[in-house]
Amino acid sequence: MTFQTMLASMSAGMLRSLAIFFLTLIFSLPLGMAVMYLRRSKYKVISGITKIYIAIMRGTPLMLQLLMWYFGPFYLFRWSIRGYRFPAIIIGFSMNYAAYFAEIYRSGYEAIPVGQFEAAEVLGYSRSQTFFKIILPQLVKTILPSITNEIITLVKDTSLAFTLAYNEMFSIAKQIASSQTSFVPFIIAGVFYFVMNYVVAFVMERAEKALAYY
């Protein structure tokens, strides 16, 4: 098998890895914000349950969580899991990363001086205006480096989809390497992850510079 053939065979897996990456971000970033607000709820039951959720998501391996999300419906409710593999992967990744993002959001939110909220109240801003016009710009600037680290980790974690026998790029690379007794597929996979992370780091660095207003 030539290099071009290997690359062509792995291209479909690259697209699947990208799909996992982007869909996880689309769902986990806003979900993390919701989890953060539940975590800061004044109701002890809600905040307590949210703390337990975050502890479980951060305290157990993502690989184990993927298995739980995929096989759980069958073992618990005897539901058919035919065609459920990709949705289970997206749910597993999104729920896991939402917990990490929630804690990042919380640290950034609590770092904002109380005076910012008081000033907005004095100016007659509503809660939504306070959040979107005053709090959110400062929050994004504060948490961007931590968010960047998590996104870079996500690029590499997409390879864990092989746990559910999903043919993303790394799974295909292993199959080709095994059948062809060649290390080249792993090199191609390594280059893919490196380029993806380089693009992420570049984009996020530009975002940080755009927000560096002082």
Total of domains in the chain: 1
Task: Give me the CATH number covering residue 193.
Answer: 1.10.3720.10
The conformation of residue 84, written as its DSSP 8-state character, comes to -
- The reported pLDDT for the residue numbered 135 is 83
Average pLDDT over residues 77-82: 82
DSSP labels, 10-32: HHHHHHHHHHHHHHHHHHHHHHH
- The reported pLDDT for the residue numbered 45 is 96
Name the helix (H) or strand (E) containing 132: none
- Give the CA angle between residues 207, 211, 214 to the nearest 5°: 145
User: Which residue reads 């907005």 in tokens?
Assistant: 120
Phi then psi for residue 124, to 5 deg, are 85, 20
| Structural domain boundaries enclosing 43 | 3-210
Q: How confident is the model at residue 167 (pLDDT cuts 50, 70, 90)?
A: confident
Q: How confident is the model at residue 193 (pLDDT cuts 50, 70, 90)?
A: very high
111/162 Cα distance (integer angstroms): 38
- Tell me which amino acid residue 68 is: M
Average pLDDT, the chain: 90
User: Which residue reads 């806003």 in tokens?
Assistant: 30
> Residue 184 pLDDT more than 80?
yes
- The reported pLDDT for the residue numbered 114 is 83
- The reported pLDDT for the residue numbered 79 is 83
How many other β-carbons are positioned within 10 Å of the β-carbon of residue 97?
24
Contact call for residues 89 and 66 (beta carbons, < 8 A): yes
Q: Which residue has the higher pLDDT, 112 or 105?
A: 105
- The reported pLDDT for the residue numbered 213 is 60
121/133 Cα distance (integer angstroms): 13
How many other β-carbons are positioned within 10 Å of the β-carbon of residue 168?
26
pLDDT digits (tens, 9 = 90+) for 1-10: 777 888 888 8
Name the helix (H) or strand (E) containing 106: helix 85-111
pLDDT digits (tens, 9 = 90+) for 131-163: 888 888 888 888 999 999 999 999 999 999 988
- Tell if the pTM clears 0.95, that is, is over it: no
Query: 105: exposed, middle or buried (C-beta count within 10 Å: 0-12, 13-18, 19+)?
Result: buried
Q: How confident is the model at residue 64 (pLDDT cuts 50, 70, 90)?
A: very high
> Residue 214 pLDDT more than 60?
no
pLDDT digits (tens, 9 = 90+) for 92-108: 999 999 999 999 999 99
Phi then psi for residue 150, to 5 deg, are -70, -40
* HSE value, Cβ hemisphere, 13 Å, CA-based, for 178: 6
